[in-house]
Structure 1
Amino acid sequence: MESSTIRSTATRPLLEGPGRQAFLLLRTVFTVAPILFGLDKFTNLMADWTIYLAPVATSVIPLPAQTIMYAVGVVEIVAGLTVAFRPRFGSLLVAVWLFGIIINLLVLGAFFDVALRDFGLLVGALALNRLSPGKLR
């Protein structure tokens, strides 16, 4: 049996049934959530996002906290769109981004519950990566 035949039959179950449903659910969540949260960095309707920024960030990047949040918003929107169109790469981008958020929250010394939630999201982003068809390019 050829290696390509083995490879295609080994990945087929992930592309059908429950695996496909899990992929679609995760891709949808990791597309919509970052875009919505990214857009909210410009309006602060859901939260005052600057309270989640560790003070060390503004000492390293000498900009007002809200200006940093605008940049964060752009990155989150781009990450969500990347998940939509290139889920295998986008899921890794989201996972790395979530890792950075977790580190920021731990440095802040507060919002440990949010850091734990974000760790769960990071694991979900890695699961999306494993379920995503295709190769990284």
Structure 2
Amino acid sequence: MASIPLITTSRSASKLRALDPSRQAFLLLRTVFTVAPILFGLDKFTNLLVDWPRYLAPLVNDVVPGTGQQAMYAVGAVEILAGVIVAVRPRYGAPLVAAWLAGIIVNLLLIGDYYDIALRDFGLFIAALALFRLATAHDAPDRHTSR
């Protein structure tokens, strides 16, 4: 029996790519690490979800200038920026989010009352690292090439 050559069109290749489990995982993590930091960042300005300054360790509060709420404004701006960078370039945004989560974990451990939240954020930290690894395969390559 003769084998039939497999001819792939760009349309069928696109469908195969969309069905790739690692591509789906990449898109899920990219979406979550775009939306969540932006929403949580915006909430730092409104405190609708929680009174965010209570999550600032006294040691950190003593080091940063201004009030705890003013520090949360800066935190919110960084979180929004991180979410936008993940949306545009997850290869660079994912390690930024991972580093940010590491800082949050250290801050929560310094408080001493939020070990459960620190553990949850450790899981998010690992997920951000997974997004970084997936982004190396699925994020568009840099367009800057040396000649």
- TM interval, shorter chain, is 0.7 to 0.9
- The unaligned stretches of length 5 or more in structure 1 are 1-12
Q: Which has a greater percent of helix?
A: 1
Instruction: Please report the RMSD computed on the Cα atoms of aligned residues, expressed in angstroms.
Output: 1.8
* Separation of aligned partners in 1, 2:121 and 2:108: 10
1:68 aligns with 2:42: no
Aligned length: 125
The match for 1:21 among 7, 21, 24 is 24
Note the C-alpha offset of 1:16: 5.5
* Separation of aligned partners in 1, 2:98 and 2:62: 25
- Taking every aligned residue pair, what percent have the same amino acid on both sides? 62
Could you tell me the TM-score, scaled by structure 1's length? 0.86
Contact 1:14 1:131 in 2 (8 A): no
Note the C-alpha offset of 1:62: 2.9
Matches within 5 A, 1:1-137: 17-132=20-135, 133-134=138-139
Quickly say closer, same or farther: Cα 1:97–1:14, change in 2 above 3 A.
Answer: farther
Quickly say closer, same or farther: Cα 1:92–1:15, change in 2 above 3 A.
Answer: farther
Structure 2 counterpart of 1:24, one-letter code: L
Could you tell me the TM-score, scaled by structure 2's length? 0.80
1:68-97 Cα distance to aligned partner (Å, 9 max, x none): 000000000000000000001100000000
Structure 1 runs, 4 residues or longer, greater than 6 Å off:
none
Greater gyration radius: 2
Structure 1 counterpart of 2:107, one-letter code: N
* Separation of aligned partners in 2, 1:30 and 1:14: 21
